[in-house]
Amino acid sequence: MKLIYEKSVKGRIGFSIPEDSFDEISVDIPEYAKPHKEYDLPEVSEPDVVRHFTKLSKLNYGVDDGLYPLGSCTMKYNPKINEKLANLDNFLYAHPFAPERYVQGSLQIMFELGELLNEITGMDKFSMMPAAGAHGELTGVLMIRKYFESKGKPRHKMIIPDSAHGTNPASSAMAGFRVVEVKSNERGGVDISELEKIMDEDTAGLMLTNPNTVGLFDENILKIADIVHSKGGLLYYDGANLNALLGIVRPGDAGFDVLHLNLHKTFSTPHGGGGPGAGVVGAKKELIEFLPSPIVCKNEKGYFFEFPKNSIGRVRAFYGNFSVLVKAYAWILSMGPQGLREAAETSIINANYVLAKLKDYYKPAYDRTCMHECVLTGKEYKKYGVKTLDISKRLMDYGFHPPTIYFPHFEPYAEETIMIEPPESESKETLDSFIKAMIKISKEARTKPELLKEAPHSTPVGRLDEVKAVKNPKLHY
Ligand SMILES: *Cc1c(COP(=O)(O)O)cnc(C)c1O
């Protein structure tokens, strides 16, 4: 496909209006604003533009095209109505410097969203400021650091399970903690006896995802909380994916002290493309004073900004990605408590359905019921020279986005892993056609391995040299 610049024809324009409609006026364009030869805009007609961008949009694959089973990512369909609501003029044009009294409605949404999230998670107060999950983690661990500093007893270590999302150790290290790894047991949960050994009074706490990043619920969570709390530590909950818990379990009840949620995964904001997101952070009572400031509060006169006394300060400009907050608020209210619970139950049933139907073809990494995502492996196809990478590439020929692969990557449980998350918005028919494709691919792996190794065959570009594609992207072909 040509670039739009290559479709440019000197003098071609995108509109036609009678020449005598307007009087000619002359304007002095300052030097810096004059078009530069190199940056000339393409000269194209309106249909040229429409067709160019329509063609480009068809080269891509998104959640509006079909199943996007990317584990640990919750690529679900988000109702378009929530986009419309976030785009209402009063939200869209609210100025971040507007005095509180002129934006009471916007503040009310932030406040009430916080209250709804408190109810969903069992926390006491939310900051809407962080712009992504990893940003929420950094915010949360900085709060933990300040909590110990304010007691005059700084702590220096943070425990992180080997199954954790890579952002957890990164956030801890950025906040100045030394990361200590705790191994998983054969059921995919935290190894309790090892945790008991490493938890000490220089350890600020433990960052945990539950269900963890392999889609398994750690049944020892109360025990884990006990071990950490008994040494004065705090529990951080990585709630990036809340899909399995909505209306079923509240992290606050399980002993977590501070958490973040990815509104852009679970709560109706499309993602995967770099934002905007919202990694909102919730704190239990003892930690509210450390939340980033300002936070939205309410008194008899209305809504106002408050600056928590021991706040870690600002973590970004203004108050967060407001449009994401509006979408989350609208989604929660439109689902209702029962609807949220059904969403969680459906996502868990979907993942277990896929697991049950595929386990004879792709050996599961763990032999147990999963939560909202399941981990299979492609290890038995290695003897045919087929890797998990080839299996996922071949899925594209059947019209599906590939799942997350080679994650989790810790041995001995994980080898050639395929992590599938079929969210609640997917119908049984969609799941069945995905399952059918996966089974067909498992047969092809035995009989026609070459077909897989050269896949995809049906996409605008075929198999890429992935290392080269990252280092030397060719955005034009
Ligand atoms: C996605 C994810 C994150 C990171 O969220 P970002 O918004 O991409 O920064 C952190 N933890 C888990 C478990 C995740 O799935």
We report the CATH number of the domain holding residue 366 as 3.90.1150.10
The pTM score is 0.91
Q: Residue 189 C-alpha to ligand 1 middle, in angstroms?
A: 19
Query: What is the predicted pLDDT for the residue at 386?
Result: 97
Residues 6+ apart with CB under 8 A from 468: none
Q: Ligand 1 centroid vs 53 CA: distance in angstroms?
A: 30
Is 477 domain-assigned?
Answer: no
Tell whether 324 and 350 lie within a shared domain.
no
Domain interval for residue 30 = 4-52
> Given this model, what pLDDT does residue 317 score?
92
Site to probe by mutation for ligand 1, drawn from 74, 214, 238 as the one with most ligand atoms within 8 Å of Cβ, is 238
Task: Tell me, yes or no, whether 405 and 315 share the same domain.
Answer: no
Domain assignment present for 75: no
Of ligand 1's atoms, which has the minimum distance to the CA of residue 136? 9
Same domain, 237 and 373: no
Residue of minimum CA distance from atom 6 in ligand 1:
133
Nearest atom within ligand 1 for CA of residue 134: 9
Contacts 24+ apart (CB under 8 A), 155-159: 155/201, 155/202, 155/203, 155/204, 155/233, 156/202, 156/204, 157/200, 157/202, 157/203, 157/204, 158/203, 158/204, 158/205, 158/206, 158/207, 159/195, 159/198, 159/199, 159/203, 159/205, 159/206, 159/207, 159/228
Instruction: List the residue whose alpha carbon is closest to atom 4 of ligand 1.
Output: 133
Specify if 58 maps to a domain: no
Q: How far apart are the first and last CA of the chain?
A: 6
Q: Where a domain ends, among 335, 361, 377? A: 335
Burial status of residue 166 (CB atoms within 10 A of its CB: 0-12, 13-18, 19 or more): exposed
Q: List, chain by chain if needed, residues with CB within 6 Å of any ligand 1 atom.
A: 72, 132-134, 165, 167, 209, 213, 238, 240-241, 262, 277, 279
Tell me: do 266 and 325 sit in the same domain. yes
Given ligand 1 and candidates 72, 281, 324, which is best to mutate, with the most ligand atoms within 8 Å of its CB? 72
| 306, 335, 364 - which closes a domain | 335
> Do 378 and 281 form a contact (C-beta atoms < 8 A)?
no
Q: Which two tokens stand for residue 276?
A: 């905007």
Closest atom, ligand 1, to C-alpha of 265: 1
Distance of CA 172 from the midpoint of ligand 1 (Å): 14
CA of 171 to the centre of ligand 1 (A): 11
Element (H, E) at 441: helix 428-447
The Å distance, Cα 241 to ligand 1 centre, comes to: 8
Q: Residue 476: its pLDDT value, please?
A: 62
Q: Is the separation of the CB atoms in 222 and 189 below 8 Å?
A: no
- Cα 327 to chain centroid distance, Å, stands at 15
Q: Which of 70, 135, 165, 210 to mutate to test ligand 1, by most ligand atoms within 8 A of the CB atom?
A: 165
The protein residue whose alpha carbon is closest to atom 14 in ligand 1 is 240
CA of 50 to the centre of ligand 1 (A): 35
Burial class (CB in 10 A: 0-12, 13-18, 19+), 426: buried
One domain, residues 265 and 356: no
Q: How far is the CA of 98 from the centre of ligand 1 (A)?
A: 32
Whether residue 74 is contained in a domain is answered as no
Whether residue 359 sits in one domain with residue 330:
no
Q: Is residue 271 domain-shared with residue 356, that is, in the same domain?
A: no
Q: Is the residue at 154 inside a domain?
A: yes
Domain tally for the chain?
3
pLDDT at 252: 97
Among 75, 167, 236, 263, the mutation site with the greatest number of ligand 1 atoms within 8 A of its Cβ is 167
Name the closest-CA residue to atom 12, ligand 1: 240
Say yes or no: 13 and 92 in one domain.
Answer: no
CA dihedral over 246, 249, 250, 255, signed as positive or negative: negative
Residue 72 lies in a domain: no
Domain boundary among 335, 369, 397: 335
Tokens of 168: 């957890």
Total Cβ atoms within 10 A of residue 375: 27
Q: Which residues pair with 178 in a beta bridge?
A: 157
Q: Are residues 45 and 106 in the same domain?
A: no
Q: What is the CATH number of the domain that holds 143?
A: 3.40.640.10
CA distance 95 to 277: 19
- Kindly state whether residue 308 falls inside one of the protein's structural domains: yes
Give the span between the Cα atoms of 239 and 210, in whole angstroms. Answer: 8
270 shares a domain with 134? yes
Q: According to the model, what pLDDT value does residue 100 have?
A: 95
User: What is the CA(134)–ligand 1 centre distance, in A?
Assistant: 6
- pLDDT (tens, 9 = 90+) of the chain, 477 residues, equals 888 999 999 999 888 888 777 788 888 888 887 777 666 789 999 999 999 999 998 888 889 999 999 998 999 999 999 999 999 999 999 999 999 999 999 999 999 999 999 999 999 999 999 999 999 999 999 999 999 999 999 999 999 998 899 999 999 999 999 999 999 888 889 999 999 999 999 999 999 999 988 788 999 999 999 999 999 999 999 999 999 999 999 999 999 999 999 999 999 998 877 678 999 999 999 999 999 999 999 999 999 999 998 999 999 999 999 999 999 999 999 999 999 999 999 999 999 999 999 999 999 988 789 999 999 999 999 999 999 999 999 999 999 999 999 987 776 667 899 999 999 999 999 999 999 999 999 999 999 999 999 999 999 889 988 888 888 887 665
Task: Let me know if residue 67 belongs to a domain.
Answer: no
- 3-state SS string over 20-66? HHCCCCCCCCCHHHCCCHHHCCCCCCHHHHHHHHHHHHHHCCCCCCC
| Same-domain status, 379 and 312 | no
Nearest to 134 by CA among 248, 33, 21, 281: 281
Quote the ligand 1 centre to 289 CA distance (angstroms). 25
Q: Ligand 1 centre from 282 Cα, in Å?
A: 16
- Model pLDDT, residue 285: 97
376 lies in the same domain as 291: no
